[in-house]
């Protein structure tokens, strides 16, 4: 190669290399930003998931306690409808002639903590 071409080649390489470095820096910056965004998104995701679980649990609780109340009372109601006392006066004996019992009704439907 002659001296001028060599010199031009170096110039060109220098330019190219500078161009590469510029691109590298750019890419590096973009990647930094991306990583930062990624981390933020991950954190947000984690939080959101946690919150979701919280909400689901609470909902489950709410619905299950509501069910619990009615569940045990529903059981009592069923036993009562089959013709047995559920109050503590008559201890599960048969309801004569299927007559209604005010004490049983209070146990099934009455307010607790009266």
Partner 1 sequence: MKFTVNRNAFLAELATVQRAISSKTTIPILTGVKIVLSADGLSLTGSNADISIETFLSIEDEKAELTIEKNGAIVLQARFFNEIIRKLPETTLTMEVLENNQVHIISGKAAFTVNGLDADSYPHLPVIDEKNQLKLPVRVLNKIINETTFAVSLHESRPILTGVHCILSSAKLLAVATDSHRLSQRIIPVEQAMEDFDVVIPGKSLLELSRSFKDEEELVEISIMENQVLFKTKNMYFYSRLLEGNYPDTNRLIPDNFNTEIEFKVTELLAAIERASLLSHEGRNNIVKLSISSESVVLYGNSPEIGNVEEDLSYKNVKGDPLDISFNPDYMKAALKAFGEGEVVVKFISPIRPFTLEPTESDATFIQLITPVRTN
Cβ proximity to partner 1, 2 vs 98, nearer residue: 98
Cβ proximity to partner 1, 49 vs 94, nearer residue: 94
Yes or no: say if 72 and 79 are a contact pair by the CB < 8 Å rule: no
Cβ proximity to partner 1, 5 vs 97, nearer residue: 97
Q: How far apart are CB 112 and partner 1 at their closest, in Å?
A: 10
From start to end of 18-94, where are the E strands? none
Residues contributing to the site for partner 1 (CB under 8 A): 81, 87-90, 93, 96, 99-106, 109-110, 114
The maximal CA–CA distance of the chain, rounded, in angstroms, is 123
Give how far Cα 85 sits from Cα of 39, 44, 69, 79, 100, Å.
Answer: 63, 56, 19, 8, 9
Q: How far apart are CB 49 and partner 1 at their closest, in Å?
A: 44
């Amino acid at each position: 190669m002659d001296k001028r071409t060599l010199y031009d080649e170096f110039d060109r390489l220098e330019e190219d290399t500078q161009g590469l470095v510029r691109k590298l820096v750019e890419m590096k910056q973009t990647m930094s930003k991306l990583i930062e965004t990624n981390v933020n998104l991950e954190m947000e995701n984690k939080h959101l998931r946690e919150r979701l679980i919280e909400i689901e649990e609470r909902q489950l609780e709410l619905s299950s306690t509501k069910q619990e109340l009615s569940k045990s009372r529903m059981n009592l109601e069923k036993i009562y409808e089959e013709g047995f006392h559920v109050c503590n006066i008559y201890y599960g004996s048969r309801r004569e002639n299927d007559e209604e019992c005010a004490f049983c009704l209070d146990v099934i439907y009455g307010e607790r903590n009266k």
